[in-house]
Copies of this chain bind each other. A is one copy, B any other.
Amino acid sequence: MASLCILRAFLDRAFKSQPMPRISRRAHEVPLSPFRKLVPFADKAKEKGTHVYHLNIGQPDIESPSPAWAALRNNRETILAYSPAVGKLSYRRKLVDYYRSFSIDLTPEQIVVTTGASEALQMLLFACFDAGDEVIIPEPFYANYNGFARIADVVIQPVTTQIEDGFSLPRLAAFRQKVTERTRAIMITNPSNPTGSFYDQNDLAELAKLVREKDLFLIVDEVYREFCYDDHSFYSALRLAGLENHVIVVDSVSKRYSACGARIGAILTRNEQVLESITRYAKLRLSPPALGQIFAEAMLEMDNQYLDEVAREYDRRRMVVYQRLKAMPGVLNYKPGGAFYCFARFPVDDAEHFCRWLLESFSHEGSTIMLSPGSGFYATPGLGQDEVRIAYILNEQDLHRAMDCLEIALQEYPKVKAEIHSTVD
């Protein structure tokens, strides 16, 4: 027995001191989404029985269109084969009609179907940028751009926008200032995740000047194009005349059809070199998801009723959040023009601490809320410390309850902070 114990101890030690190949340095540098650090606290809150209103994520609670589900039920294929690397031709043909309804003229050959907008972004960062090249992006921006840029070894040069004017597009001089010899593109999200800002035809025409002057790509993430409010008319960058070789649009069915799990996006461009290199990349990974394409194709066969209703629903939710925030003392907000997000400035000095406190220590009638701290959406250190992103992806009743929580929390939080300080002092 004794010798067995010695053997076991020896093996244990040998196992623990076992050498281990190290992971890459670059893998350490991929940042997580701004709210990911809060997930354990949300889980704990739920374990305690607290209901958590999730205003931190872009997963809508709206049903995906029933014709899409029906198309899956009625599908009579027997082999779930690879689709063409650039996507099924029948699907790309229907996309041509869909884009035409936004006055965007494309051929099926100018569309490459991707595994969500995420893959589209990865492909573009590789196809348009060499290691060390730069992209100019207005901040705050979609936080995962950071991770994708890190993977592709592309440097993000941020142009700061301001909550005071609803994060509207800065003057062209601010962009021009950021252009260096390594700048390859300007990238925007229109309407914007995370701010809900909407860029109109004039905004795009301004950017077009610099893009033409410096011969840059203009990459526009247009996945929220259906969700424009206050009679804003969406204007796609693909309509800019004379920039056929400069404009590249990223698209996805995830948000407009509430079909995030389909993982179907697209790259749209008339630049043949970009198309050729994207197609090479597409062939490498063989095929976008075939079932998601069946789902997405069926959605394109519907009339506009579904999308109109969804847009009206988000508009109502937008107004709930806008008006409730406006009525809260010390909160700075604005009326977002599109998408289903907004930013707000809170009377707190550390929004991340406040968001964590909401989950760890606060509840109102058995509920609390989860928000995304704002700083994670900025590239410039120190910005957004008193800001949060709110995704209005819950129904109006739940949104009102969530706003009740927030209103009371903002009243209680200063007292708690004061207590902490007095204790520490």
Contact = CB atoms under 8 A, between A and B. Distances in A.
Contacts of A394: none
What is the total number of copies of this protein in its complex? 2
A407 interface: no
Report the contact-size class of chain A (Cβ under 8 Å from the partner): 35 or more
Contact of A72 (B23, B64, B72, B287): B72
Given A289-B262, A289-B263, A277 B23 contact: yes
A18 B286 CA distance: 34
A80 B64 contact: yes
A48 interface: no
A64, A246, A260 — most chain B CB neighbours (10 Å):
A260
Nearest to A258: B79
B295 A291 contact: yes
Contacts of A59: 81-82
A80 B246 contact: no
B24 A148 contact: no
A345 interface: no
Contact of A21 (B14, B68, B184): B184
A22 interface: yes
Given A26-B131, A73-B72, A217 B21 contact: yes
A77 B295 CA distance: 13
Contact of A36 (B19, B260, B283): B283
Nearest to A152: B151
A280 B32 contact: yes
B292 A289 contact: yes
Contacts of A283: 32-33, 36
> Top 10 nearest A-B pairs by Cβ distance?
A261-B290, A291-B291, A27-B277, A118-B285, A20-B245, A289-B289, A147-B284, A80-B261, A82-B260, A80-B259
16 contacts: A21-B217, A21-B271, A23-B277, A24-B130, A27-B128, A28-B277, A30-B277, A69-B77, A69-B78, A72-B291, A80-B262, A80-B295, A115-B115, A115-B263, A116-B287, A260-B287
Interface of A: 14-15, 18-28, 30, 32-33, 36, 59-64, 68-69, 72-73, 75, 77-83, 115-116, 118-119, 122, 126-131, 133, 144, 147-148, 151, 153, 184-185, 212, 215-217, 242, 244-246, 258-263, 271, 273-274, 277, 280-281, 283-292, 295
